[in-house]
Amino acid sequence: MNKLFIFFISSFLFLISTASSAVEYKLPDVNGNIQSLEQYKGKWVVVNYWATWCGSCIKELPDLAKLHEENIDSNIVVIGINYETINKTQLKGFVGAYEIPYPVWLSEEVRETPLGVVPVLPTTYIVDPEGNVVAGEAGVITKQALEAYISKQMLLEKYVKYNSKQNS
């Protein structure tokens, strides 16, 4: 419970610096094809910055994979953005060895991305269905914390829509 509370508080604090639109963000995938967050508009997108050498990143891979797989036909998708200098063959081998089921894109190591800063690895951002960055977390994240945050936001959205209809 304390970890969940810390996630919400840190998400709120991180949100202060992350209120931006993410749909214009484009990067190559492991096959060299340019991908865009715009293709996921209408879904919640969990964007995770990671590297193959990062032990904490590897620790959270199972949770991210499970979140992606359990929601593949739903409204949540995970995208891993590899944040290191590595050749595509090595990266593909790593993705295969760890059985990463979600899309993996490549990024140069830059301090600030279109989603916000990447102070440490791993760093995770949540993009809402409209393409806005709504939260972020520096450090290891869990499937449970991500699901709790997204569920809370979805309920809040339903509540706001319901009240808007009632007041019309």
When divided into structural domains, the chain yields a total of: 1
Q: Is the pLDDT of residue 8 over 80?
A: no
pLDDT tier, 72 (very low <50, low <70, confident <90, very high otherwise):
confident
Q: Residue 40 and residue 130: Cα distance in Å, rounded? A: 9
Q: Do the strands 116-117 and 133-138 form a parallel or antiparallel pair, or are they unpaired?
A: unpaired
Q: 96 vs 21, which has greater pLDDT? A: 96
- Model confidence over 16-35: pLDDT tens digits? 344 456 668 999 999 999 99
User: Which tokens is 150 given?
Assistant: 């997204």
Task: Read off the CATH number of the domain in which 20 is found.
Answer: 3.40.30.10
- Model confidence over 117-142: pLDDT tens digits? 999 999 999 999 999 999 999 999 99
The answer to whether the bond into 122 is cis (omega within 30° of 0) is yes
Residues 128 and 154: beta-carbon distance below 8 Å: no
Q: How many residues does the chain have?
A: 168
- Average pLDDT of every residue of the chain: 87
- Its domain, for residue 99, covers 2-167
Q: Is the pLDDT of residue 161 over 80?
A: no
Classify the C-alpha dihedral 87-92-93-99 as positive or negative: positive
Residue 122 sits at the vertex; the CA angle it makes with 116 and 123, to the nearest 5 degrees, is 20
Query: What ranges make up the beta strands (E) of 8-122?
Result: 26-28, 34-36, 44-50, 76-82, 104-106, 112-113, 116-117
pTM (2 decimals)? 0.84
CB-based burial label for 163 (10 Å; 0-12, 13-18, 19+)? exposed
Q: Do the strands 34-36 and 26-28 form a parallel or antiparallel pair, or are they unpaired?
A: antiparallel
| pLDDT for the residue 14 | 47
Q: Is the pLDDT of residue 5 over 60?
A: no
